Amino acid sequence: MNRVTIVLLIILVILVGILIALYFIGKRLQARQAESDAQIQSMKQPMTLLVIDKKRLKLKESGLPDQVIQQTPWYAKRSKVPVVKAKAGPQILNFICDEKIFDSIPVKKQIKCMVSGIYIVEARNMKGGRLQSDAPPKKKTWVDKLQEKAGAKSVK
């Protein structure tokens, strides 16, 4: 065997080792995520909020309690989080919102939502229906336009 084959085998063994390590790390992180989701689901409670403002802000700029910022891991402190400023009863509070429902929460309207601590898990309008997204429809890319034209030609 020549040197090139040996080098390629060493690189292959290292890559396989990295993939195995990533598999087990991912499995452990997935178990942690499932555990935290179960805890959030068990602690959620209904609340009526008047949404004042919503933005994606860095954690330090979000106006959340210092205890929340201190408990956040160092790698997540610079990331932007969806923050909703809302009036709950007589108090104005800052909430962290679930990324899935952030775009559908209307500003300056009252909503019913499920809150777990300072985390908004679900949101509905006051009549109990689903919220409609305020975001404008996404602009079509040229690939989407080409696929649409190809689909129209095949129908004819």
| Per-residue pLDDT tens digits of the chain, which is 156 residues long | 789 999 999 999 999 999 999 999 999 999 999 998 899 889 999 999 999 999 999 888 888 888 888 888 888 888 899 999 999 989 999 999 988 899 889 999 999 999 998 899 988 887 767 776 655 667 888 888 888 888 776 655
At 5, the amino acid letter reads T
At 63, the amino acid letter reads G
pLDDT of residue 19: 97
Q: What fold does the segment set 41-125 form as a domain?
A: OB fold (Dihydrolipoamide Acetyltransferase, E2P) (2.40.50)
The residue written with tokens 């949101």 in the block is 123
Q: Is the dihedral of CA 95, 57, 136, 140 positive or negative?
A: negative
pTM for this structure? 0.67
CA–CA distances in Å: residue 79 to residues 25, 40, 60 = 22, 21, 10
The rounded distance, in Å, linking the Cα atoms of 67 and 72 is 9
For residue 72, give the DSSP letter.
Answer: S
